[in-house]
Structure 1
Amino acid sequence: MPVPIICLDEHVRHFAERFRKLFSKPQYQYLVIVLLGLMLCEGRRTLSGLLCQIADRPSLAGLSRFLSEAPWEAATVVTLWLRHFREMMQPKVAAELQRQRQEQPKRRGRPKQPVVTGYLIGDDSTIEKRKGKKMEGLGRHHSTTQDKRVPGHSLVESLYVLLGQRCPLAPQLYRQQAVCKAEGVPFASKIDLMETVIRTFEPVAGTVTHILLDTWYSAKRLWRAARERGFLITSGLKSNRWLRVEDPSAPQGWRWQRLSDYTAQLSASDYIQLKWPKGDDDVYVHVVTTRVRKLYSCQVVIVRLSLDAPVSQARYWASSDLEASPQMLLAHIAARWDIEVLFADGKEELGLDQYQLMSATALVRFWTLAMLAYVFLEEERHRLQEQWQRHVTIGEARRQIQRRHRRHVLDWLHGQFQSGVEPDALYELLSA
């Protein structure tokens, strides 16, 4: 049943009010419609699908113009939600630092400095568009689910995770060089986009920032950017990378060795058995402090699910956190999974991949508003966790919002009938 805007849940209303100053009055109405539509819609989140969730809704053309032509900036929306996240998390960081100080055992010497780590996770996701030949920004990108190149858009996204709470950064559209040339826009590689994120990111004060990237972003430029910002960084490595190994017979006392060859010569005693974070599975881990060619000094982490499995199934990472224990290195590596959850939740719960928009401006704005809805649901998820005293998913938070709106509609209908409104009048409103 379509929801009259008058039945808007107070939590959604208060959240949207934060951004009112960034929009004109008509634009703000469309903002609320998109946010509500994304959370209520169970079908495809096309523009028509979003509008069908709202009673007495505006025109499809008006919503299309709001996304493609209206004078508002997606970047300012992101800036505002990031600022609010920092303000919300600052007292929580201070409380956590104080808790760590109080729990430190009293001993001689200088006490250990408390640390709160915030993870800045970067990755990209391919959004397939088989029938979107006229869409701007369309290229052929690798799909990990299909293990081949498919027509579509490449979404480059980053996620800030701090004390169990998550906040996405601005979604970015990656366009290949040929696409940029055809559309007359400057080219920026994925490395360029991620470097800009690292160099411009503003963390919560008093925290340590740790960059997490997969193998596609294991470039020296990004490591340099992280070092210059004073950030730690952990990134995946391919097996064909070279690491420095000690060799007394070599003129310099060391030589370069391919990572796969280094792993092949390790014995079972070179590994330690550890629990994978957030799970019960055991893994076998080998850690060596060395230097990777075209990177810096780092800890190289080799992880195998079984020592009987082929060496080709081993996974590799490099971390600039030279003081981290093997278990802490696994915690860093496992934390990167949160961005995979973001992509999955964005597509499943908010239709991040279901748009039918022609212009690049419109689709980036759609992604931005979908991430804005995610920001709200993440806040709602955390509030429900404290209320219910258990883990809550983004999907559960969205379904709770849906239930509250259904109740608001029933209460509103009850009031309308009590005030003498005829059913035919309400039917016209709710069936339009």
Structure 2
Amino acid sequence: MSHTAIVPDHQMLRNYLLQHRLPLYFSKPVMNHILSYMAAATSKGFRGKVVDLADYSPCHRTALGHFLTHGHWDERILQHKVKQESIRHVLRESTQTAEPLFVIHDDSICKKTKPSSQAKSPIEQTGYHHSHLEGKTVWGHQVQATIVQCGAAALIHSIDLYDRKKVHPDGSVYTKIDHVCDMAATMPLPPYGGYALVDSWFTCSRIIDSYATAGYHLIGALKTNRILYPQGIRISVQHFAAHVSKKDVHLVTVNGSSYWTYRYEGALNDIPNAVVLLCWPEQAFGQPKALRAFLCTNVSLETETICTYYSKRWPIEIFFRQSKGNLGFETYQVRSATAFIRLWALLAWTHLFCTVGLEQPCSFGDGLRTVRKQVKQDIAQFIYDCGRKNIPFQVIQKRLKLA
């Protein structure tokens, strides 16, 4: 007996793939696998494992594992589409609102279990990395991500593996700073100004110069051992802060929180001129452990504006948290580098879909709930249609892998 209804049709997801002309680049089986990933990744409890994908695909998990590890498709096309679409949206937002464009860089650790020395096929490209979140060295993958933002739109732009074994043609190590400098060269000229937002690891002259060439200023956190030159005197930020009194600071409110702020403008090591803000929470002025410092290369910006702009770096922290909690960014178990890099490309594509792929742009959380609801409706519609066609219940069970 022939049955035409073999799997639920997720038309909303399929339309998004067609909208971006992915059938021009990928075969029909690859398209179906991408569709299955998007349906699975937006479901509750998704862990990024192949067995999770199999629940939303007519294929066996071994076929899905082959698709990720050995499949003949180019994940770079998907990565390029994510970059292209994210830039298009924020440029349009900037043009319409006359607001600056922000490029946010950060890294994170996808923690894994260290394999036994006897393991025959451990997860590739893993190693020891320092986790700022846990305050210790952990085993796993170090990932660099880039978010582009303008107004309410904060979109994933790229997810890249940091490979400490990668080298330049001259034999020198390709560092995380090199990666950010390369990303700066790919950014479009911002129509109403632009800022790179980084943590203290990336606040250096090379990245400042790279973004200046691209037409952007930089606002970044600053380590308190960085050297300033007030009145030509060489002194670290933390020692200089000890000489700042209450009459030298003023109160700045950012996103409902207030901070005592001191503004320094002048030279730093390797940086001829910039603004440095020394900040303390309102109730902790003068406490060394509460001191935070920030650098801005646009000396014309007001203090409160610098603080407000830097607070826009927070979406990248939210991205890491949401991706690890909902899209299996930390719990995947594929072993080959090809497989997990492809998973990251699919993850970025799905995250972008949940934010700008629906009827109107929305937050990832709202988009995720909308897609989850639609996928459930698609499955319910599939069961209903099968009933109308008198397809036996045992066949439906088999198609949905419930038998």
The one-letter code sitting in structure 2 at the alignment partner of 1:209 is G
1:15 paired to 2:1 = no
Q: Deviations over 1:303-330 (max 9, x none)?
A: 1013445123201111111111111001
For residues 307 and 150 of structure 1, the distance between their equivalents in structure 2, rounded to whole angstroms, comes to 32
1:122 paired to 2:105 = yes
TM-score, normalisation: structure 1? 0.84
Contact 1:41 1:50 (8 Å CA) reproduced: no
For residues 163 and 333 of structure 2, the distance between their equivalents in structure 1, rounded to whole angstroms, comes to 18
Distance 1:24 1:89, change over 3 A: same
Aligned to 2:318: 341
- Secondary structure of the residue aligned to 1:34 is helix
1:263 paired to 2:241 = yes
For residues 169 and 402 of structure 1, the distance between their equivalents in structure 2, rounded to whole angstroms, comes to 23
For residues 46 and 94 of structure 2, the distance between their equivalents in structure 1, rounded to whole angstroms, comes to 39
1:406 Cα shift? Answer: 1.6
Distance 1:373 1:316, change over 3 A: same
Distance 1:427 1:13, change over 3 A: same
The one-letter code sitting in structure 1 at the alignment partner of 2:208 is W
Aligned to 2:86: 85
Distance 1:202 1:64, change over 3 A: farther
Aligned to 2:397: 427
For residues 361 and 293 of structure 2, the distance between their equivalents in structure 1, rounded to whole angstroms, comes to 37
1:52 paired to 2:40 = no
Distance 1:13 1:67, change over 3 A: same
Q: Deviations over 1:382-431 (max 9, x none)?
A: 8275xxxxxxx423321221112222222332232223222222122222
Aligned to 2:70: 69
Q: 2:382 aligns with which of 407, 412, 420?
A: 412
1:202 Cα shift? Answer: 2.9
1:299 Cα shift? Answer: 0.5
Identity of aligned residues (%): 18
Alignment gaps of 5+ in structure 1: 98-115, 247-253, 386-392
The one-letter code sitting in structure 2 at the alignment partner of 1:296 is P
Aligned to 1:189: 175
1:284 paired to 2:260 = yes
For residues 70 and 402 of structure 1, the distance between their equivalents in structure 2, rounded to whole angstroms, comes to 27
The one-letter code sitting in structure 2 at the alignment partner of 1:401 is V
1:354 paired to 2:340 = no
Aligned to 1:101: none
1:275 paired to 2:258 = no
Alignment gaps of 5+ in structure 2: 117-121
Aligned to 1:315: 292
1:116-195 maps to which residues of 2 (within 5 A)?
116-132=99-115, 134-177=122-165, 187-195=173-181
Aligned to 1:42: 45
For residues 6 and 90 of structure 2, the distance between their equivalents in structure 1, rounded to whole angstroms, comes to 34
Contact 2:10 2:375 (8 Å CA) reproduced: yes
Contact 1:132 1:152 (8 Å CA) reproduced: no
1:8 Cα shift? Answer: 0.5
Aligned to 1:209: 194
TM-score, normalisation: structure 2? 0.89
Distance 1:240 1:128, change over 3 A: same
Moved more, 18-27 or 265-274: 18-27
Distance 1:121 1:415, change over 3 A: same
For residues 309 and 359 of structure 2, the distance between their equivalents in structure 1, rounded to whole angstroms, comes to 22
Paired residues in the alignment total 387
Distance 1:227 1:93, change over 3 A: closer
Aligned to 2:303: 326
Structure number with higher relative contact order (C-alpha < 8 Å, ≥ 6 residues apart) = 2
For residues 309 and 235 of structure 1, the distance between their equivalents in structure 2, rounded to whole angstroms, comes to 22
Aligned to 1:113: none
